[in-house]
Structure 1
Amino acid sequence: MILTNCAACAAPLAHNAPRCVRCKVRYCNRTCQMDHWRRGHKQICKEIHRGGNAEKYHADKKYKEAVAVAVKKCAADTKGHTCYICTEAVHWKTKEGLVRMCACRGTSGFAHVSCLAEQAKILCDEAEKNNLGLKAINKKLERWYACGLCEQYYHGVVYCALGWACWKTYVGRPETDTARRMAISVLALGLFDARQYKDALSVQEAELSMLRRIGAAEENILVAQGNLANTYQNIGRNEDALRMRKIVYSRTLRLHGEEYVGTLVAANNCAAVLAELKRFPEAKALLRKVIPVAQRVFGQSHEGTFKMRWIYARALCEDAGATLDDLNEAVTTLEDIERTARRVLGGAHPTTMGIERSLQNSRAELRDAMASREI
């Protein structure tokens, strides 16, 4: 996590909380600061200051830990290979091993995290130095989270390590700086992709607070809120996730209208959480409104349409008050989308397989309901 808690008592802190004058470690108040000083901060304060102050020092430490995890995780894949950037098996300076980070064939799929980070930094520095404009700079910033050759996004522990590399590179810049704003987002997404949800949550909450503080565009705030909702769901905080999903959906609808792709995605996400919370009447009401729009915008054979109709069928079937007509409609809907999904996505696709499981469950529910009526 980034430093959003008091170093002495671990209480959450505001961004302008009191800091150590020398190393910028943050505290609730002077009492916590003096207590931390007595408990050992006195011995390492100068070291933290020499390391670039608290945030940079902490990011360097977390980066090294993340690189070690990524190298260990990739060890079986990288054995016998060399870095496509520096052509060495072991990095000359950091002594780190290799990672497998993308879908590149041959030797191009192997590199040191340090080499990938240095390459991304050089490209971004050149774009800034030559005043290439925001669009060009944003394109260069993609190198922190996507391969420049195959263009595949990095994933898992490699993404996490590069997230820390990106954050430690730009953390010293002002909050309004484009690269710094991107860096906190890359770090949050890297932690999430590595399933470090608790740390991701801390970073995402800090990011959202920062965006509001600096008056960022509403589009950027909505993206941050959507990412935060994903994390809430993954740690089981579904009520918080639903609150955030509703905000994202309503504001996206207001900004762009009902036929905007982002509005439809936000509606589907909202319905999915409602179904997870077993608030089936609300889920069905929302989906009855947006499914016709999705069919018009996406078409009948789009994965987005499949997912909406899938959630709707589940809501029909799993509702405790489901009637025989509801169960029949659920089975008919799932049979229709399962057949189309199998043709469009293939039988092994996760969405197709999920629809098939729901169809089997719905058929079983319908059989049981019909049997109980006969009795």
Structure 2
Amino acid sequence: MILTTCAACAAPLAHNAPRCVRCHVRYCDATCQHDHWRRGHKQMCKKIHRGGNAEQYHADKKYKEAVAVAVEACADDTKGQTCYICTQALHWKTKEGLVRGCACRGTAGFAHVSCLAEQAKILFAEAEENNLSDKVKTERFERWYACSLCEQEYHGVVRCALGWACWKTYVGRPETDEIRGVAMNVLGNGLISAKHYEDALTVQEAELSMLRRVGAPEHSILVAQTNLSTTYARIGRHEQALQMSRDVYSGELKLYGEEHGRTVVAACNYATSLVGLERFEEAKSLLRKMIPVAQRILGDSHDHTLSMRSIYANALYQDTCATLDDLSEAVTTFEDTARIARRVLGGAHPSTVNMERALQHARAALRARDTPQPSSLSERV
């Protein structure tokens, strides 16, 4: 359930809280249900039921809102373009406009969210119907959050809209269905990408609770904990983020060893938490060990490698004990990562924007340290 609060009083609910028999809206108890019925639910109950019941109705509504936001945000960039899937400027059915939120450049990558969602839905359905391998299923499911042209992940409000599209597609599956949990994950990451951190926290906590309830394998729980620790850090709950990211890093090391992409991601998140708490020496020690691993198994241009190097540069220049050599290394690292990110991800990608902004701060710190300060009153005058 993504609807995790009582419809009448907004109190947190258990997954098995009582619900309306017809439309499945959930409540704390019969008192809240009767109160909500008198305050207008009576008029909405049939409509929600016809819309697929509470969770489906809510997902469809949030999807439409997210698409409208994404189209508006992309309006200037998409003017005069057509969808690369249906070749139309306006979607034939929904009349929605175009979006682009990946690393495509020029006239490539413009599409309707509805077309992207339908493409992802059809591709994955074919893989399930034909009982294709897990590798093929995983590759096809990536269409819910990654561009089929440039193969980079979508970002910002476009990814958020696709997250709601994915969730509304698979919300009707039972809790024990793995794909329902994966769709929850996609939605949570989409909300984070659009900076809806509190909403993402609600989704991710519900996902982790569900995975534990159905006895999901450890690697699935570690993924959910990874995303949750990232959200904790984004909303300033750094101690919780550190504790969870440390546990995830230990778990991934135990499951996969050091030379694995998932361990690299876990180390990246752990280092981020350490920097957030200004434990710079621990962060630098971890990253000096893991950056060469990331470069070796993922490559210099991979987004996780770029993120690790960027975090390392942040730890260098933000440390109040940083030497002149530390600041110079931070600037050099940011210059290199920003250049690669601009080439691989594009200038509008949030990672590129963040690296270039951090580069300016690091350069300012280096200039301040490198400029001799006047030592006497006459020199100051």
The TM-score normalised by the length of structure 2 is 0.81
Aligned partner of 1:322 in structure 2 is: none
1:361 aligns with 2:365: yes
1:249 aligns with 2:249: yes
Measured against aligned partners, the alpha-carbon deviations of 1:117-148 in whole angstroms (never above 9, x if no partner) come to 22221222211111113222222111111222
What count of residue pairs does the alignment treat as equivalent?
A: 358
CA distance in 2, matches of 1:297, 1:89: 41
Higher mean C-alpha deviation, range 19-28 or range 227-236? 227-236
Structure 1 residues 158 and 312, CA gap change in structure 2 (3 angstroms) = closer
CA distance in 2, matches of 1:305, 1:50: 48
Aligned partner of 1:69 in structure 2 is: 69
Q: State whether residues 156 and 190 of structure 1, in contact with CA within 8 Å, keep that contact through their aligned partners in structure 2.
A: yes
Specify the code of the residue in structure 1 equivalent to 2:40.
G
Aligned partner of 1:163 in structure 2 is: 163
Aligned partner of 1:38 in structure 2 is: 38
1:184 aligns with 2:181: no
Specify the code of the residue in structure 2 equivalent to 1:63.
Y
Specify the code of the residue in structure 1 equivalent to 2:174.
P
- Please state whether the residue corresponding to 2:32 is helix, strand or coil: helix
Of residues 326, 330, 339 in structure 2, which corresponds to 1:333? 326
Aligned partner of 1:16 in structure 2 is: 16
Measured against aligned partners, the alpha-carbon deviations of 1:93-129 in whole angstroms (never above 9, x if no partner) come to 2222222344445655222222222222122221111
- Please state whether the residue corresponding to 1:111 is helix, strand or coil: coil
Q: State whether residues 291 and 308 of structure 1, in contact with CA within 8 Å, keep that contact through their aligned partners in structure 2.
A: no
Specify the code of the residue in structure 2 equivalent to 1:224.
A
Shift of residue 335, structure 1, vs aligned partner: 2.9
Computing the radius of gyration over CA atoms, which structure comes out larger, 1 or 2?
1
CA distance in 2, matches of 1:252, 1:233: 20
1:284 aligns with 2:281: yes
Shift of residue 362, structure 1, vs aligned partner: 6.7
Shift of residue 358, structure 1, vs aligned partner: 4.1
Of residues 288, 313, 316 in structure 2, which corresponds to 1:310? 313
Aligned partner of 2:145 in structure 1 is: 145
Question: Residues 55-134 of structure 1 correspond to what in structure 2 (within 5 A)?
Answer: 55-104=55-104, 108-134=108-134
Question: Residues 219-298 of structure 1 correspond to what in structure 2 (within 5 A)?
Answer: 219-258=219-258, 260-278=260-278, 280=279, 283-285=280-282, 287-288=284-285, 291-292=288-289, 294-295=291-292, 298=295
Higher mean C-alpha deviation, range 254-263 or range 355-364? 355-364
Two-structure CA RMSD over aligned residues (Å): 3.3
Structure 1 residues 112 and 131, CA gap change in structure 2 (3 angstroms) = same
CA distance in 1, matches of 2:67, 2:308: 40
CA distance in 1, matches of 2:21, 2:234: 38
CA distance in 1, matches of 2:80, 2:308: 46
Measured against aligned partners, the alpha-carbon deviations of 1:40-67 in whole angstroms (never above 9, x if no partner) come to 1111111111110000011111111111
**Identity among equivalent pairs (%):** 58
Specify the code of the residue in structure 1 equivalent to 2:58.
H
Q: State whether residues 246 and 270 of structure 1, in contact with CA within 8 Å, keep that contact through their aligned partners in structure 2.
A: yes
Q: State whether residues 271 and 287 of structure 2, in contact with CA within 8 Å, keep that contact through their aligned partners in structure 1.
A: no
Unaligned runs of 5+ in 2: 343-351, 376-381
CA distance in 1, matches of 2:10, 2:77: 39
Shift of residue 167, structure 1, vs aligned partner: 0.9
CA distance in 1, matches of 2:154, 2:223: 19
CA distance in 2, matches of 1:110, 1:356: 31
Q: State whether residues 197 and 231 of structure 1, in contact with CA within 8 Å, keep that contact through their aligned partners in structure 2.
A: yes
Q: State whether residues 145 and 154 of structure 1, in contact with CA within 8 Å, keep that contact through their aligned partners in structure 2.
A: yes
Q: State whether residues 6 and 26 of structure 1, in contact with CA within 8 Å, keep that contact through their aligned partners in structure 2.
A: yes
Shift of residue 252, structure 1, vs aligned partner: 2.2
Shift of residue 22, structure 1, vs aligned partner: 0.9
Unaligned runs of 5+ in 1: 319-325
Q: State whether residues 191 and 197 of structure 1, in contact with CA within 8 Å, keep that contact through their aligned partners in structure 2.
A: yes
CA distance in 2, matches of 1:245, 1:71: 35
CA distance in 2, matches of 1:343, 1:180: 39
- Please state whether the residue corresponding to 2:74 is helix, strand or coil: helix
Shift of residue 311, structure 1, vs aligned partner: 5.2
Specify the code of the residue in structure 1 equivalent to 2:281.
K
CA distance in 1, matches of 2:291, 2:98: 44
Structure 1 residues 148 and 297, CA gap change in structure 2 (3 angstroms) = closer
Shift of residue 77, structure 1, vs aligned partner: 2.2
Specify the code of the residue in structure 2 equivalent to 1:153.
E
Q: State whether residues 327 and 365 of structure 2, in contact with CA within 8 Å, keep that contact through their aligned partners in structure 1.
A: no
